[in-house]
Structure 1
Amino acid sequence: MNAPDPLAAHQPWLATTHEVHNVGCELVDYDMYRGDAALVEGVQREGAAWADAELGGFGRLAGSADYLELGALANRHPPELDTHDRFGHRVDLVRFHPAYHALMREAIGRGMHSSPWTHPRPGANVARAAYIYLQTQVEAGHLCPVTMTTAAVPSLLTTPALAEAWLPKINARVYDPRNVPDAHKQGLTIGMAMTEKQGGSDVRANTTRAHPVGAATGAGAEYELVGHKFFVSAPMCDAFLVLAQAPGGLSCFLVPRWRPDGSKNPLQVLRLKRKMGNVSNASSETELRGALGWMVGEEGRGVRTIIEMVSSTRFTCMVGSAAGQRQAVALAIDHCRVRAAFGRPLIDQPLMRNVLADLALEHEGSLALTLRIGRAMDHRSDAHEDALVRLVTAVGKYWICKRTPMHAAEAMECIGGSGVMEDSPFPRLLRESPVNAIWEGSGNVQCLDVLRAMERSPAVVGALFDELDRARGGHALLDRWVDALRTDLADTADIEYRARQLVDRMALALQAALLVQHAPATVGDAFCASRLAGEGHRQFGTLPRGVDAAALVARAAPR
């Protein structure tokens, strides 16, 4: 035993290096749904009030310490690949931490992959978006296979025989991660294998070939695929929608991991990608060495077959980025109401309050536009709503997803140096923030798709302005903004060069119109004053005089 230090006995303060005070704490055990006023109001407004009670229960689960810890664990222990078992058999097995499986089980069990298909009703896509939004704040990566499983349904419906055989298990609320043939499972997940090294977004440059197995060709017929896919999400799924060149042109195929006879389909994973974000989710490079698949849709119409799938995944990118913004705002406000500097809590200091209020405004605009498109997806039989989906999904995916990295970085700055540390939630949040802007079509692709929709279906432009005109008279700045946008969209000179500027303005107009109509006046007025006046929005924290920043922060504070 060490002898006591006589100096410490006479000078006890020498043993006390510091006490912990004036620091934040983990944002846990809070109601993630009820504490988000913009979400609760949006769910009610956009037609999913019937889901309020269940969302409330899930919000309490999502905000619990134990559930949030699952998200941290799933990223701390990324997936690992076993190409072969110890006897040399090819298995292509991706191993995950139990936390990942727990999150997948909860997501699938609540129907986040299938509810709009199995229980179609007004508000179905809005309710699903709310669930995904809450779940994303716990962990984003595992929602990639959930999203693709949802999005595969309309593609498979183009080929009734495949839909009849596969959709019951795809839509089932059963999560079964075993690496076994689909015949042995009650629930299935679907991935995508579109991208090749030489093409990226230009899928028509794909070189993977599909060869008919027998005399039958076309929709539902068997083919063998040979080629290489540079980015497959997610390789542990039970089957994949794959684009390949058939004799009649680029076509879509459903390729399972196992053949119907129970043998391993030669869809072979070469390696898992080492991604800067989305760490919990496995993405891979894969070779198809005569892999069996069935044609989905018409031969040579592969892009058309998957177009609705792309629209669905882009919408979920909007949801995920809006969720990332909400998480950043909640963490920043929660910290700043505890942390003091220079004699006052950060939340009471005018400049910090300006930053927090601006971050809150950005999130509220993102969420309002996202849920509005959710309602449009629920009413595709209406020409106006269908036009909004076709045009504004690309607008929103571009704008919201590209704003999120700047938003995450600014919120992290509110925390200061501690926010940079890997034991903080912010490094994961920041690394995740660019993912949605790149996946499912980068910014340029979205803007070009907007122009393409306007050219092919001029009615979508009319639908855009019909939507904006619903807010006519609500704010003078918005009226002037919309009038200028209408004039500039009519000018087609150099329109591709100007595409980003025009889509920026569309997005801001739509967000402002929704907030002016539906949010408290403090929100709508502040959004218009900060985004539509003068030269527009600059850095976060540049709200003009007259904005009630305290009210904006109080509205956004997690409760």
Structure 2
Amino acid sequence: MPLPPLSDLGSHEVTNQPGAPADLDLWATDAPFRDHVARSGADTAPLMRLGAELGREEWRDKARAANRNAPELRLFDRAGRRLDEVAFHPAYHDFLTLGLEAGYAARAWSRAPGGHATHAGIVYLMSQVEPGVCCPMTMSYAAVPALAADEALEALWAPRLTAAAYDPAIAPVTQKRAATMGMAMTEKQGGSDLRATMTRAEKADGAWRLTGHKWFCSAPMSDGFLTLAQAPGGLTCFVVPRWTEEGRNAIRLQRLKDKLGNRANASAEIEYAGARAHRLGEEGDGVRTIIRMVHHTRLDTAIAPAGLMRAGLAEALRWCSGRTAFQRSLIDAPLMQTVLADIALDVEGALALGFRVAQAFDGKTAEARAFARIGVALAKYLANKRCPTVLAEAMETLGGTGYVEDTPLPMLYREAPLNGIWEGSGNVICLDILRTLARDPEAKAALDAELDGARGADRRYDAALEAMRARWPVPPSEGEARAFAERAASLLTAAVLAQRAPAAVSESWCASRLGQGDRGLTPGSAGGIDAAAILARLT
């Protein structure tokens, strides 16, 4: 057992400073998580094991190492031959091994009940400790349904993506026991407008050759990438292997992005210089093919902010429970209780809606699939808009200590905007919500059924639902898309909480998010929150 640090430093004695957490159990200490996992139909056993493992101090040390030792771009060897590789700190590989062996990319496709919900639980736990490593694992998970567009490609790639193992070897996929899949869609001139793609695809040697530039290639050491290119028949989806039987594919790394956060993971600009590729789906059907991957990555971008917020809240609760100010414990100060309870509601709301959507991904009925289509967009929008605010408040709770890298809060705060940008920024998501409601009557009916199912539980909810429908009897104009998305997502969260959370949580959500005048601009300014009950649930 290591010796404790010295508190008596000669010139002063260190008092009133909560100690750094030792080994924790991220499952056992998170009652809301356990509740929503149980109600979603997820398999609790792997989540219990992963929560206990990830909470160990060793993994927090590895997370710091992975963030402080950035990926290194290695374009050439010592003789000037091209490598086009990225070298990572060993801790990065350790996290990928832990996550993939826990089933991050495999659980949802194992045919066991609750696979997507179990997957969502793994995302939630991993995001609390080192969220950067989630990127390649999320894309490997999400690529599986897109591969169904081609039987041969599915037979080659899907078993390796779902192998519940990590194999970082630089080798063709045929020689590997496990593989990862990335994505390269974004180009400079288009951004979210994929129809502006300029990368060209030409038939050659029984396959295709791609030529063009991709502004963002996530996880450039993946074994393959789903990408879009202009073929003679229109915009088409392709699988581009990183390594081929003949050697290194013609994928040229240009630079690694110098990002705000997500530092353990590499994101790159790349050139396809006649890269060998295999068509996935029909020519001209690229967007419809790759959107299957995007749909599933959106589930992860809806649940990951819940993990980030939970990690920040846990730091704030530990600090306030172990520190005194003005002759009382911080956790007993009424104003601090109000702030903590308010941000805890955001965490619980994101958890509840995220796992309800994950459960719909597991559903076998047309109604479940329809709800998943609209629910995932609403969950992604609201959780990511709340995430930066929650983490800023958690950081402020610790004061100056929270602003320095000795705590995980700076890392969490840098990560907070990412999931709101990835796979559709706020405006793109809102426009998708409007299109879905206008063009997909099954999705609209599924949303209405979920909202109507919560009627009668809280008068404030009933009044807010009627007010929304009176204001927008049909999907709103584009200029009102954000107002509508926020309101619909808040109501949907309330509907889920009414079925899956204690009354104090559900009623506090309705009072502070749906009541007269709604919440204020800052956490802690809303009325109607049962702070004591919410904090008791957490501590």
TM-score class, shorter: over 0.9
1:502 corresponds to which of 479, 484, 487: 484
Relative to structure 1, is the Cα distance of residues 15 and 421 closer, same or farther in structure 2, using a 3 angstrom cutoff?
A: closer
Query: By how many angstroms is 1:26 displaced?
Result: 2.0
Distance 2:123 2:248 in 1: 33
1:532 aligns with 2:517: no
Partner residue of 1:30?
Answer: 24
Distance 2:473 2:58 in 1: 54
Report if aligned partners of 1:313, 1:440 keep a CA contact under 8 Å in 2.
yes
Distance 1:53 1:463 in 2: 31
Partner residue of 1:450?
Answer: 433
Partner residue of 1:373?
Answer: 357
TM-score normalised by L of structure 2? 0.96
Amino acid at match of 2:351: L
Q: Structure 2, unaligned stretches of length 5 or more?
A: 1-7
Partner residue of 2:46?
Answer: 54
1:363 corresponds to which of 335, 343, 347: 347
Q: Secondary structure at the match of 2:268?
A: strand
Distance 1:314 1:131 in 2: 15
Instruction: Give deviations 1:140-160, integer Å, cap 9, x for gaps.
Output: 011100000011111111111
2:15 corresponds to which of 12, 16, 21: 21
1:239 aligns with 2:224: yes
Q: Secondary structure at the match of 1:393?
A: helix
Query: By how many angstroms is 1:15 displaced?
Result: 8.5
Partner residue of 1:189?
Answer: 180
Partner residue of 1:84?
Answer: 76
Amino acid at match of 1:273: K
Relative to structure 1, is the Cα distance of residues 15 and 277 closer, same or farther in structure 2, using a 3 angstrom cutoff?
A: closer
Distance 1:554 1:61 in 2: 25
Query: By how many angstroms is 1:187 displaced?
Result: 0.9
Distance 2:332 2:168 in 1: 49
Distance 1:89 1:423 in 2: 41
Alignment of 1:200-219 (within 5 A): 200-213=191-204
Query: By how many angstroms is 1:550 displaced?
Result: 1.8
Alignment of 1:460-539 (within 5 A): 460-492=443-475, 495-538=477-520, 539=522
Q: How many residues align?
A: 531
Q: Secondary structure at the match of 2:478?
A: coil
Alignment of 1:272-421 (within 5 A): 272-379=256-363, 381-421=364-404
Relative to structure 1, is the Cα distance of residues 156 and 53 closer, same or farther in structure 2, using a 3 angstrom cutoff?
A: closer
Instruction: Give deviations 1:36-89, integer Å, cap 9, x for gaps.
Output: 1111011111112xx223322221111110122111111111100101111222
Amino acid at match of 1:336: C
Moved more, 370-379 or 55-64: 55-64
Distance 2:297 2:22 in 1: 29
Alignment of 1:77-156 (within 5 A): 77-117=69-109, 119-156=110-147
Distance 2:101 2:453 in 1: 39
Report if aligned partners of 1:28, 1:68 keep a CA contact under 8 Å in 2.
no
Distance 1:529 1:542 in 2: 12
Instruction: Give deviations 1:382-433, integer Å, cap 9, x for gaps.
Output: 1221111111111111111121011110111111111111222111010000
Amino acid at match of 2:229: A
1:172 aligns with 2:155: no
Report if aligned partners of 1:27, 1:331 keep a CA contact under 8 Å in 2.
no
Query: By how many angstroms is 1:553 displaced?
Result: 1.3
Distance 2:381 2:86 in 1: 32
Partner residue of 1:7?
Answer: none
Amino acid at match of 1:244: A
Distance 2:155 2:443 in 1: 34
CA RMSD across the alignment = 1.4
Report if aligned partners of 1:114, 1:171 keep a CA contact under 8 Å in 2.
yes
Q: Which has the larger radius of gyration?
A: 1
1:543 aligns with 2:526: yes
Distance 1:169 1:535 in 2: 52
Partner residue of 1:10?
Answer: none
Moved more, 162-171 or 95-104: 162-171
Distance 1:460 1:305 in 2: 20
Partner residue of 2:236?
Answer: 251
Distance 2:512 2:281 in 1: 47
Report if aligned partners of 1:93, 1:179 keep a CA contact under 8 Å in 2.
no
TM-score normalised by L of structure 1? 0.93
1:157 aligns with 2:139: no
1:67 corresponds to which of 40, 54, 59: 59
Query: By how many angstroms is 1:491 displaced?
Result: 3.9
Moved more, 306-315 or 160-169: 160-169
Report if aligned partners of 2:518, 2:526 keep a CA contact under 8 Å in 1.
no
Amino acid at match of 2:516: G
Distance 1:242 1:81 in 2: 22
Distance 1:53 1:154 in 2: 25
Amino acid at match of 1:365: G
2:253 corresponds to which of 250, 260, 269: 269
Amino acid at match of 2:232: P
Partner residue of 2:39?
Answer: 45
Distance 2:141 2:14 in 1: 47
Instruction: Give deviations 1:192-226, integer Å, cap 9, x for gaps.
Output: 01000111111110100000115xxxxxx611000
Report if aligned partners of 1:94, 1:235 keep a CA contact under 8 Å in 2.
yes
Report if aligned partners of 1:121, 1:378 keep a CA contact under 8 Å in 2.
no
Distance 1:165 1:458 in 2: 36
Q: Structure 1, unaligned stretches of length 5 or more?
A: 1-13, 215-220
Partner residue of 1:225?
Answer: 210
Q: Secondary structure at the match of 2:15?
A: coil
Distance 1:489 1:15 in 2: 64
Query: By how many angstroms is 1:173 displaced?
Result: 2.1
Relative to structure 1, is the Cα distance of residues 377 and 312 closer, same or farther in structure 2, using a 3 angstrom cutoff?
A: same
Report if aligned partners of 1:148, 1:192 keep a CA contact under 8 Å in 2.
yes
Report if aligned partners of 2:170, 2:243 keep a CA contact under 8 Å in 1.
no
Q: Secondary structure at the match of 2:244?
A: coil
Report if aligned partners of 1:474, 1:517 keep a CA contact under 8 Å in 2.
no
Instruction: Give deviations 1:306-340, integer Å, cap 9, x for gaps.
Output: 11111111110111101011111111111101111
Query: By how many angstroms is 1:487 displaced?
Result: 2.5
Q: Secondary structure at the match of 2:185?
A: strand
Query: By how many angstroms is 1:125 displaced?
Result: 0.8
